[in-house]
Amino acid sequence: MNDDIFILGITMTKFGKHPDKDAVDLGAEAAMNALADGGVTMADMGVLAAGNLMNAAAGFGQQLQKQIGQTGIPVFNVVNACATGATALRTAIMAVKAGECDMGLAVGVENLAGAGLLAGGFGKPDGHTWEPSGRYGAVAPVDGRIGTDTMPGTFAQVGMEYLHEHAYSGEAFEMFAKISEKNHSHSTLNPLAAYNKLMTLEEIMGDIMIAYPNTRPMCSANCDGGAAAVVVSAEKLKTLSLEQQRRAVKVSASVLTSDPYTEGCQVLPDVNTLTRSAATQAYEEAGVGPDDLDLVELHDCFATAELVHYDNLKLCEEGGAVEFFESGATWRDGDMPVNVSGGLQSKGHPISATGIANIWEVCHHLRGEAGDRQIEGATVGLAHVIGLGSACGVHILEKAA
């Protein structure tokens, strides 16, 4: 029996500020549009995987059902940091692949507009000093008002550590800012991005410094948004219309990893080993290599993160991320376009929606439906997300034959 899985329908809402909509509203919008995109209904679904960080304890998936159709199917409420959306999709994929149903729906949604810096809950930045507390209080870094164990501080360290390890002697601040310049440029072609503004290198470098070397435009934009996908088995897909079959996108690999044991410091999350492991497994599962990819949507929660993930996803030789970027390969017209959507820095980062939204971008290029930002002739793409805690999701997608 053919156990291939396909994405039949997929959508994302406009990312940004939606003060008149809560998570259920945004999730319902994304879910209904994904069903319509696939030409199916809620009655066809055999499983629902619903990702949301803020309302998981209240049974977000069950709340969502009441809006989109309460049909008695199993509901999985998924929480896995920034990898929540990708994990929800993988949950639906596993249910279909196991033969429990032939179609499933995955949804990821978040209300984060105005949330500010996500400080991780280790201390209260009420005054001018930061006081560590809680489980990690004894080992948490104490420099700065919010502490460097928060996401901005962590990924600033990750990027600078990479440059130190590989003896980079250039201007780090400007080099990282150029990555952000690329992503903000790409976002001008994405009408669903939270920010569509072209930003010059001078504007990016001159903005508020969050955690050196990342200024505000170099950080992911917390916002509201939802994304959803319908997955279907190969056998069921054969019974659908030729148009549905033509637009279906094959999921050649779906991989989820967590932190392995590593010798050394256990405080700073090892985002590198985590991602390299996921990428290695995904390439093997899909039977492709980095050179086969036509585009990549990776988790650029900060400009520093994008650079290290070039290496972690094996888009370049080990230690060669700076040279790879400076070659121009990652621009939309380059040899390996990265974050054509504008990335998290411009498209936005409603945490639980991001994993599916990254896949949405790749799917639209493989379908030839990406409009002005279309990568011509795209047949294979990779989507990547990482959540501290830690979890990494990598999906490799292929155009239907």
pLDDT at position 119: 47
pLDDT digits (tens, 9 = 90+) for 183-210: 999 999 999 999 999 999 999 999 999 8
Per-residue pLDDT of the chain (401 residues; tens, 9 = 90+): 578 999 999 999 999 999 999 999 999 999 999 999 999 999 999 999 999 998 767 799 999 999 999 999 999 999 999 999 999 999 999 999 999 999 999 999 999 887 765 544 444 445 555 566 776 666 655 554 445 667 888 899 899 999 999 999 999 999 999 999 999 999 999 999 999 999 999 999 999 998 899 999 999 988 999 999 999 999 999 999 999 999 999 999 999 999 887 776 555 668 899 999 999 999 999 999 999 999 999 999 999 999 999 999 999 999 999 999 999 999 999 999 999 999 999 999 999 999 999 999 999 999 999 999 999 999 999 999 999 878 999 999 999 87
- SS3 sequence of the chain: CCCCEEEEEEEECCCECCCCCCHHHHHHHHHHHHHHHHCCCHHHCCCEEEECCCCHHHCHHHHHHHHHCCCCCCEEEECECECHHHHHHHHHHHHHHCCCCCEEEEEEEECCCCCCCCCCCCCCCCCCCCCCCCCCCCCCCCCCCCCCCCHHHHHHHHHHHHHHHCCCCCCHHHHHHHHHHHHHHHHCCCCCCCCCCCCCHHHHHCCCEEECCEEHHHECCCCEEEEEEEEEEHHHHCCCCHHHHHHCEEEEEEEEECCCCCCCCCCCCCHHHHHHHHHHHHHHHHCCCHHHCCEEECCCCEHHHHHHHHHHCCCCCCCCHHHHHHCCCCCCCCCCCECCCCHHHHCCCCHHHHHHHHHHHHHHHHHCCCHHHCCCCCCEEEEEEEECCCEEEEEEEEECC
Looking only at Cα atoms, what is the longest distance across the chain? 63
CATH architecture entry for 5-114+222-399: 3-Layer(aba) Sandwich (3.40)
What pTM does this model have? 0.92
pLDDT at position 387: 92
Catalytic center residues = 82, 349
pLDDT at position 152: 85
pLDDT at position 125: 47
Domain residue extents for the chain: 5-114+222-399
